[in-house]
Each structure stands twice: as structure tokens, then as C-alpha cells.
Amino acid sequence: MCGCTFAELGGVVTCHVVKLGSSVLAECSQERMLRLGLVIADSIRAGEQIVVVSSGAIALGWRALDERQRPTDVVGKQAAAAIGQRHLMKHWSRAFDACGIEVAQVLLTHEDFESEQRRTNAMNLFEHLLSRSVVAIVNENDSVSTEELTMGDNDMLASKLSVWLKAESLILATCAPGLMDRNNDVFRGAEGRIPEECFEWIFESSGDGSGGMRSKLLACEHALRGGVNASIVDGRSSRDLKMTIKLWRERAHDSKAPIEASFGTHFRRPS
């Protein structure tokens, strides 16, 4: 359990699971990763606990192999993930080394959430890392598991992890300013549940109701049911990530305060 359990640094210590998608980390720009690392490092120094769920291994893997296009078959994706994970950790290590923060690689599968013994082992690991201000860089173990390869981009993995850790928030960073409504305006969020029309907007815009934003809404819905606040924000903006962490930290201190944000989409857990 996160929250106030691991590291009492004065006041309420909150835990946030930040998921960064492949689109945010496209090309794995060291400058962008450094900016994101600085935000996370500053939050840790302010007393927050941060777990990063990072996609991007497959993209890095097929580029390392000098392939002309991303693999479409499962085994090709598995191979790319196995190769790319090393490169992904190298980028994150460089970003956090510049901030004086240590990182640890944690590879999970959905089966880890189902086995009581594996869940206990993983919880002990996260408790140990968080209590020492080490940033866990979590990814689906795509080289042995195929579920994320066919179902999503780590969104549900991050959501399950946030509930598992009893985090204050799940923050899904993507390459959109938030959830867009049918008028192409950013929907700023809701309390307690995700309105049904949110899924209708995605269906109207995509034609089949599938894709990246749908998986993010499902992940947010799962987090809310587990008592975790959820946000969809523009991961290209380190400022939006910083302000989202600040938003949920402040709401942890004052749960009745309204959510008034001019960025992203934010869903508050049921009271």
C-alpha cells in the first residue's frame, strides 16, 4: 500500500502511477525524457512517490534492428520488445542520472496480479523501491506475454498497478490534450464515474470505438472502481504532468475542493 505507509516525509505522502505511451516517447527524444525526468524528480523531492509505466520498447527494438517498418506479428513484436527494453532503460537511466535519481527496471505480466504469492513479492519490491525514492520503470514483459501486444499500450497494466498500490492517481500521458468531445473541445472530466457519452465520442470519431483513447477510458474506469483518481493529459507538456501531480496532491489534502483545471481530463474517484 502506498499513500502514507511507505515514507512519512511530513504531511500526506501521495503515490502516483504515471503511464507514458509510445506516442509520447516516439523517437525517445533525450530532451523530452529529461524534461519528464526533471518533473518526476522534483515531485519525489517534494515528498511524492512516483511509479512510471513506460511503453516504447517495441519501437526502439525494431529501429535497433534497422527494420523498415514496425512488426505486425506477435513473435516479431516479442523480439523487438526484448531488444528494445535495454535501449528504453538506457534512455531513462540517462534522464534520471541527470536528476540524481536512481531507477529500477520492473517487468510485469497480468498474471502477476492474479497470483497471491507473485503479488506479495511484487508489493514488497515496490515498497522497498519507493521508500528509497527509487523510480520503478515498469513495462509489460512483452517478450513472454502477448496480452498487451494485442490489447493495448500498457494502459490497463498501469491502471491495475495503481489500484494495487492504492495510489492517489493514475496519470495517462498521451499525445492529445485530453479526451476530446464531439465538438473537438477538451472534456475536463467528472466525479465518481465516466459519463457514457465519453465512449460515444470515441465511437463517433474512430468509427469502431477501438484504439488508444478507448483503452485509456477503460483504464480510467478500472482505476475509479478501485478508488484511484485518474487523468488523461498531454505527455508532450512536462508542465501538464507537473500540474496534474500537484492537482491530485492538493486534493489528497482537501478532498472536497473542486477540480478546476484548464488542462487535461480528470476523473475524481467516488467519495
Rounded Cα–Cα distance for residues 136 and 97 (Å):
14
Share of the chain above pLDDT 70, in %: 86
- pLDDT of 20 over the 90 cut: yes
pLDDT at 159: 95
Stretch 23-52: mean pLDDT: 88
Residue located via cell numbers 511507505? 6
pLDDT at 205: 52
- pLDDT of 11 over the 50 cut: no
For the chain, how many structural domains are there in total? 1
Q: Is residue 45 part of a domain?
A: yes
Q: What is the mean pLDDT of the chain?
A: 85
Burial 113-141 (b: 16+ CB within 10 A, else e): beeeeeeeebeeebbebbeebbbbbbbbb
Q: Is residue 228 part of a domain?
A: yes
Q: Is residue 42 part of a domain?
A: yes
Question: For residues 143 and 79, which has the higher predicted lDDT (pLDDT)?
Answer: 79
pLDDT at 9: 37
CA 54 to each of CA 36, 87, 227, 238, 251: distance values in angstroms, whole numbers, following the listed order? 12, 12, 23, 15, 25
Which of 258, 233, 237 has its CA nearest to residue 16? 233
Q: Is residue 5 part of a domain?
A: no
Question: For residues 6 and 43, which has the higher predicted lDDT (pLDDT)?
Answer: 43
Instruction: List the CATH number of the domain containing 106.
Output: 3.40.1160.10
Q: Is residue 195 part of a domain?
A: yes
pLDDT at 148: 57
Which of 30, 37, 31 has its CA nearest to residue 52? 37
pLDDT, tens digit (0-9, with 9 covering 90-100), for 108-138:
887 888 888 988 999 999 999 999 999 999 9
- pLDDT of 93 over the 90 cut: yes
Q: Is residue 1 part of a domain?
A: no
Q: Is residue 3 part of a domain?
A: no
- pLDDT of 150 over the 60 cut: no
Rounded Cα–Cα distance for residues 249 and 232 (Å):
16
Count CB atoms within 10 A of the CB of residue 154: 26
Stretch 171-200: mean pLDDT: 92
Stretch 53-61: mean pLDDT: 88
pLDDT at 144: 63
Stretch 17-40: mean pLDDT: 85
Count CB atoms within 10 A of the CB of residue 168: 26
> Which domain does 230 fall in, by range?
15-268
Q: Is residue 8 part of a domain?
A: no
Q: Worst-scoring range by mean pLDDT, 10-14, 31-35, 160-164, 177-181?
A: 10-14
